[in-house]
Amino acid sequence: MIDEQRLNRMRSAFEERFGPADALALSRAPGRVNLIGEHTDYNGGYVLPMAIAFDIAVLGRASGGDRVRLHSVDFGESASFSPDELEFDRERQWVNYPKGVMKLLRETGMDVPTFDAVVAGTVPIGGGLSSSAAFEVAVAKFLLELSGKTLDGVDLARLARRAENEFVGVQCGIMDQFVSVFAEKGKALFIDCKTLEHRAIPLFGNDYEFVITNSMVRHSLGETAYHTRQAECREGLSTLTTVLGGRETLRDVAERDYRGTRHVMRPVVRKRLDHVFSENRRVLEAVEAMKAHDAAAFGELMDASHDSLRDDYEVSCRELDVLVDAAREIDGVLGSRMTGGGFGGCTVSLVEKQAAGTFIRTVSSKYGKETGLEAEFIRTDAAQGATTVRL
C-alpha cells in the first residue's frame, strides 16, 4: 500500500475536516510509464507499459449525508457536491475525475453512497505518467468498496476510460487505465488494445533499469494537438475503408495493404499512419526482445520509436529531444524515447544500472545548459496495480 508517513498525513487531513479517522477504506492506483507503443492504443494497436511506484490514493468512508465532500491534500482544496448534480467543474479540474467515475457507476444502476474522502498523490501532474487514469481507477475502486460491489477488471478499466473520455473530455485510449488495474510487480504489461488480451512480461533483471526523466514542461492533453492527431488517424482510416472495405480500427488493416494505399492520402495523414503501423511492429518486436532478455535490441527499438514520434507523428518538443539526444551519448544507455502523449512530459531510458548515476548527472547538466530548466529523475521498479484495503 502506501508508506506510513503519507498515510498519517492523509489521516490527519481527514480528521481535521470530517471527524475521527476510523472505519476507513483506502484505495490506491499507480501511474505508468509506457516503455514503447505510443499513440497506438486509440488506434486499436499494441502497447507495452509498466506501472510505477507512484500513485494516487483515496482515503475515506460513506457519510450517509446528502453531499459528497472531498479534500485534495496536494492542492489544498476542498469540494462538495450533490451526487444528483454531477456537473463539470471548470474551476477545479481535479474534481471532475471523481465526478465522472461516480456518474458512470450510478448509470450502471449501482447505488453509490455519498462519502467523505481525502486524496493524495505522488504521480507528477502533467508529466505524461498518467496521474488522471490513476485517480480514476483509485476512485472507482474506492466507490466499489463503499458500495460492497465488484467489477471485472476489464470493465473497471473501461469505465475509468469512459470517465476521462465522456466527462473530463480527453479522448485517450484505454492503455493508462488498463495498466493501472492489471499491472504486476516487476513486470511490463503487453496489451492488445483492440481485443484487450494482455500478458505480463518480466523485465530485464537487476543489471538494467528504466529511468524516467521529467522535462518539467507540463502538457495538458485537452489543450494540445492530441485530438488533432486522432482526427488525422480517423481520416486515414476512412480512406482505407473506402479503398479496402469496412475496417473498425487501423489494426484491422494489414501493413502491406496500407503501403499499397497510402499514396492517395494527404501527406500529413501518411506521416501519422506511417508512425502507427511501424510502432505496432516495434511493440511486437520489443516484446520478443524482452522475452529473450535482449536489452540492446529493445533499446534500438526505443530509439526508433522516438524518431518516429518526433518526425512522423510530430508530438515531441525541443526539451524532450534535448533529453533524448543527451541520453544517447552516454555509455550504458541502450535506448531513450519520449513517453506519454507528448508536447512535454517525460522521457524513458533503458540504462545499465551501473551507469545510472552517470546518466543522471550528465543529462541533468546538458539539459540545464541547453534549456535553462532543471530535469527531475525518477528511478522506479515496476509496481503492482490498484489495491483496496479496510483500515
Signed CA dihedral, 127, 132, 135, 141: sign only: negative
Select which of 41, 176, 274, 303 is catalytic: 176
Contact call for residues 337 and 34 (beta carbons, < 8 A): no
Q: How far is CA 8 from the centre of its chain?
A: 27
Please tell me the distance from the alpha carbon of residue 14 to that of residue 120, in angstroms, as a whole number: 11
Contact call for residues 48 and 188 (beta carbons, < 8 A): yes
Report CA Rg, the chain: 21
Say whether 58 sits in a helix, a strand or coil: strand
Which of 156, 167, 128, 129 shows the shortest CA–CA distance to 27? 156
Please tell me the distance from the alpha carbon of residue 17 to that of residue 13, in angstroms, as a whole number: 7
Q: Scanning the structure block, which residue is given the C-alpha cell 481535479?
A: 94
Please tell me the distance from the alpha carbon of residue 365 to that of residue 367, in angstroms, as a whole number: 6
The answer to whether residue 3 is catalytic is: no
Q: Where are the alpha helices (DSSP H) in 163-266?
A: 175-182, 226-244, 255-259
Contact call for residues 71 and 78 (beta carbons, < 8 A): yes
Active-site positions read: 176
